[in-house]
């Protein structure tokens, strides 16, 4: 994806005019609609309001991942960021899956979303990253394409982790209902299959209209998607799809 800010200087938050009211807020940061003053391009700027060591480290992870895959159409890119990792800029999305539940509950619409997520996970997993917080709010619609965003809870490739103690043991790491069961035991050891568990729960969430609960697969009624969710949300991580290609093949085979 081409950086829409062109060749203008980077790393200065004063280059952006922000609206006063945030678009959204999480546990450590707020997202604002903004305008890049030099180009007039509308962007989203995510800024920390909590400055703990863990908060800054998670935003740095999010920045690092977005910079690593700037050209992938299903990965939300980072356009600009602060050198101390307290803010970054991304394209302004047109919405997220959490706001579009009715629209994506249809068979073809959901298939499009799932294939987009698989595409993003494929490049991430091949590079050694695990998202660990896939949920509808982190799937953003950008220029007609679904993108995976918010890698702040992501696990870096082996050997690149800065501090393993940042991921608590015997405590849920991720979002209730969508996180794989093993993320309540030792999320640092979570593998790619944890992301496919979350994707299975997202499918169940879209098809059933219900909210997921911890450790309980959200199975649709008797329909093709039911067996997909069942396979993706097996309690044993080794019994789930292990990579994006296996997940795609599972979806394609069941939908034939």
Structure tokens that stand for 84 in this block: 């101390």
- Give the model's pLDDT for residue 171: 63
User: How many CA within 13 A on the CB side of residue 180?
Assistant: 31
- Give the model's pLDDT for residue 235: 97
Q: What is the full per-residue pLDDT of the chain (256 aa) written as tens digits?
A: 557 787 887 899 999 999 999 999 988 899 999 999 999 999 999 999 988 898 999 999 999 999 998 889 999 999 999 999 999 999 999 999 999 999 999 999 999 999 999 999 999 999 999 999 999 999 999 999 999 999 999 999 977 766 555 555 546 788 999 999 999 888 788 999 999 999 999 999 999 999 999 999 999 998 899 999 999 999 999 999 999 999 999 999 887 6
Q: 94-120: b or e for each residue (b if 16 or more CB lie within 10 Å)?
A: eebbeebeeebeeeeebbebbbbbbbb
Contacts of 17 (CB under 8 A, 6+ apart): 34, 35, 37
Cβ atoms of 140 and 157 closer than 8 Å? no
Place of tokens 């047109």: 94
d(CA 177, CA 60): 26
pTM of the predicted protein model: 0.92
- Give the model's pLDDT for residue 162: 60
Cβ atoms of 146 and 116 closer than 8 Å? yes
Place of tokens 């050694």: 128
d(CA 33, CA 22): 7
- Give the model's pLDDT for residue 209: 96
- Give the model's pLDDT for residue 167: 54
- Give the model's pLDDT for residue 9: 79
d(CA 100, CA 132): 22
Structure tokens that stand for 72 in this block: 């992938």
In order of their start, the domains of the chain are 13-91 (3.30.200.20), 95-255 (1.10.510.10)
d(CA 78, CA 220): 35
d(CA 130, CA 110): 22
Place of tokens 């496919």: 196
Is 58 exposed, middle or buried (CB count within 10 Å of its CB: 0-12, 13-18, 19+)?
A: buried
Contacts of 80 (CB under 8 A, 6+ apart): 5, 10, 11, 15, 88, 89
d(CA 135, CA 211): 11
Q: From the CB of residue 242, how many other CB atoms can be counted at a distance below 10 Å?
A: 15
């Amino acid at each position: 994806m081409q950086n829409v800010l062109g060749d203008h200087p980077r790393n200065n938050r004063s280059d952006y005019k922000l609206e006063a009211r945030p678009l959204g807020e999480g546990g450590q940061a707020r997202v604002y609609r903004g305008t890049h003053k030099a180009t007039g391009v509308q962007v989203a700027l995510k800024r920390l309001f909590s400055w703990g060591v863990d908060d800054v480290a998670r935003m740095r992870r999010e920045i690092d991942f977005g910079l690593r895959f700037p050209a992938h159409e299903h990965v939300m890119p980072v356009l600009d960021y602060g050198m101390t990792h307290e803010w970054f800029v991304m394209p302004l999305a047109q919405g997220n899956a959490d706001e579009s539940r009715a629209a994506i509950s249809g068979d073809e619409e959901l298939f499009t979303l799932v294939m987009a997520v698989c595409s993003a996970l494929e490049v991430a997993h091949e590079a050694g990253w695990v998202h660990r917080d896939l949920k509808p709010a982190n799937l953003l619609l950008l220029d007609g394409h679904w993108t995976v965003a918010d890698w702040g809870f992501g696990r870096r490739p082996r050997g690149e982790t800065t501090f393993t103690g940042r991921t608590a043991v015997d405590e849920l790491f991720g979002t209730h209902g969508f996180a794989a069961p093993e993320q309540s035991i030792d999320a640092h050891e979570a593998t790619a299959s944890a992301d496919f568990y979350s994707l299975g729960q997202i499918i169940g969430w879209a098809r059933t209209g219900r909210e997921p609960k911890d450790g309980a697969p959200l199975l649709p009624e008797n329909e093709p998607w039911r067996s997909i969710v069942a396979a993706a949300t097996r309690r044993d991580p080794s019994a789930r799809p292990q990579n994006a290609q296996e997940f795609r093949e599972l979806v394609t085979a069941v939908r034939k």
